[in-house]
Structure 1
Amino acid sequence: MKRRMIVCDLDGTLLNSSGLVSERTRVAVHRARSAGHVFAIATARPVRDTRHVAVALGNETVAVCGNGSITFDFVRDEVVDYHPLAETHVAEALAVLRGRLPGVRLGAECRLELVLEDSFELPPALSRSARRVPRLEEAIDRHNVGKLMVQLEGTARHYYEGVRRILAGCEVTISADVFCEVMRAGVTKAAALEVMAGRLGFAGDDVIAFGDMPNDLPMLTWAGTAVAVANAHPAVLASADEVTASNDDDGVAAWLERLTGHH
């Protein structure tokens, strides 16, 4: 059996709706690794909110976090790559967002720290590690921002195009329906994974990727095999090579069980 690099998004894909790794999933990942495959995480989450998943999976994990802005090796407990926004882009983006989008709520991932304005609304599972501040501009180190988070009233898919238009020089995407994410131009899960794959001796064709949201599309397009979970966004379902069961029905585990002959 050919060795594969298996790459998996977390929220809505590997994790169930409670934000947890099921026992079936844990066993399936362990068996895939035991069969010689490499398993990696690719998530919009910051490193701090990815660690408990890496631990649940046995900690033998390299993870692309922050939508590709930071790659972290949980085996060595160190940052492998970091691609922050240029300081001038951060200053300009904040000024434009404040000026053009009244009532905007902002957050930022600064290397290993998540900083959110008091008004920024996030589920506890995604914000428990955050430092809360009244106003982002006064609280962050502007040369160390990997990702800006932009929130308005309503769902992110309704205001995504507006944010993308006013921040044309940046990478803008959605991984959850409650905010948009802004990274340095060219920073995506796919770009970070391509570097990781090269280091590990894999080509894109050797990669199996699992995802559910628009921020997964570059990764799914790049990977040799793109698998969507049944609960995925319509654009992801349309672009996938295969569709597995939903995240709450252990779709990733079911697919890996077939790969390793344990179904």
Structure 2
Amino acid sequence: MAPTRTLDLSRVQLIASDLDGTLIVGGFNAGKISPRTVSALHAIEKKGLRIIFASGRPTRTMIHAVDQAEGLEHLLCICCNGAQILDSHTRTIIKKFSIPPDHVRAIIKQVKTALGPHVLLAAESDVHYKSESGFDEQCGKVMQGKPVLVDNDPIEGFLKKPGSEEEDTVENLLLTHRTWPASQLYEFLQTQVFADPKWKSMIHLTFSSSHFVEICAAGVSKASALAYLCNKLDVDPINLIAFGDMPNDIEMLKFAGIAVAMGNAHESVKAIADLTTETNEEDGVAVVLEKIVQL
């Protein structure tokens, strides 16, 4: 956490924003960056400040947001809730924080033992998206991209590159329940499936959608990826402002010198924020960025 939490916008050097429900207008994984927000982002960059998109999105859907930003020159992207960092120019993953293979196996066995056929799994593995049959249908239209199906052997399927025996990495495991919303599944996983203290050293559990819960390696979050980038960019976190709306943004908001919740944010997010701006549909991020530009 940053050492102090005042609202001196003049000290801001770095902006980090969640996408869905925050920077973007419209539905999960399907919305757009509004013209007003695009204009504000370019004005921020012209002022000499750096911008980071920080999302639960994988690289394949992060690219859509990059394109909508219309040519930001120095944009960096945190994907999969901190498990991947994307260079928006080369469109390559420049850093990964993967779940160790033995942990992937243990997680899946634990989940399947507890919930059996009631839970379906998917994984973001480097640039590959893999899932059990029915995962996308269960999540409605929020997932994008055709998955590689791993029904014959989900555990090893997630850990092998498609059509190869070569090992693949897993940055993010996704879990959806056939009848429960993500909040209920999250609570059950925390209190029943992963209640043993040993799991705290193995996984980081969160959710940013009503459809699925996400698992990263222990210690991996948007905040940990921001800490890595702050070090690389030589920016003190006290000079970072962050915007978010869901529980997977909380670590990032606590890490930033200034934490901004959206008007539409989850109550747990508003509770730890320094200020609450307008909703994403009202260009709440742009409202604050325009104030920074005017300083």
Which residue does the alignment assign to 1:48?
60
Which residue does the alignment assign to 1:12?
21
Question: In 2, Cα distance between the equivalents of 1:67 and 1:164?
Answer: 18
Answering whether residue 141 of structure 2 is matched by residue 115 of structure 1, we say no
Which residue does the alignment assign to 2:41?
29
> What TM-score, normalized to structure 2?
0.84
Which residue does the alignment assign to 2:80?
66
Which residue does the alignment assign to 2:165?
none
Which residue does the alignment assign to 1:97?
111
Unaligned runs of 5+ in 1: none
Which residue does the alignment assign to 1:229?
262
Which residue does the alignment assign to 2:171?
146
Question: In 2, Cα distance between the equivalents of 1:130 and 1:109?
Answer: 12
Please list the CA deviations of residues 206-252 of structure 1 after superposition, one character each: whole Å capped at 9, or x if unmatched.
10000000010000000000000000000001110010000111100
Kept after mapping to 2: 8 A contact 1:118/1:132: no
The sequence identity of aligned pairs, in percent, is 32
Question: In 2, Cα distance between the equivalents of 1:144 and 1:132?
Answer: 14
SS of residue matched to 1:88:
helix
Answering whether residue 131 of structure 2 is matched by residue 127 of structure 1, we say no
Kept after mapping to 1: 8 A contact 2:45/2:72: no
> What TM-score, normalized to structure 1?
0.94
- Which of these residues, 265, 268, 278, is aligned with residue 245 of structure 1? 278
Alignment RMSD, CA only? 1.6
Amino acid at match of 1:146: E
Question: In 2, Cα distance between the equivalents of 1:140 and 1:64?
Answer: 22
Structure 1 position 50, deviation (Å): 0.4
**Bigger mean CA offset, 139-148 vs 24-33:** 139-148
| Corresponding residue pairs, total | 261
Question: In 2, Cα distance between the equivalents of 1:197 and 1:73?
Answer: 15
Unaligned runs of 5+ in 2: 1-9, 161-167
Structure 1 position 133, deviation (Å): 1.7
Larger radius of gyration: 2
Structure 1 position 96, deviation (Å): 1.0
**Bigger mean CA offset, 208-217 vs 56-65:** 56-65
Task: Specify which structure has the bigger relative contact order, considering alpha-carbon pairs within 8 angstroms and separated by 6 or more residues.
Answer: 2
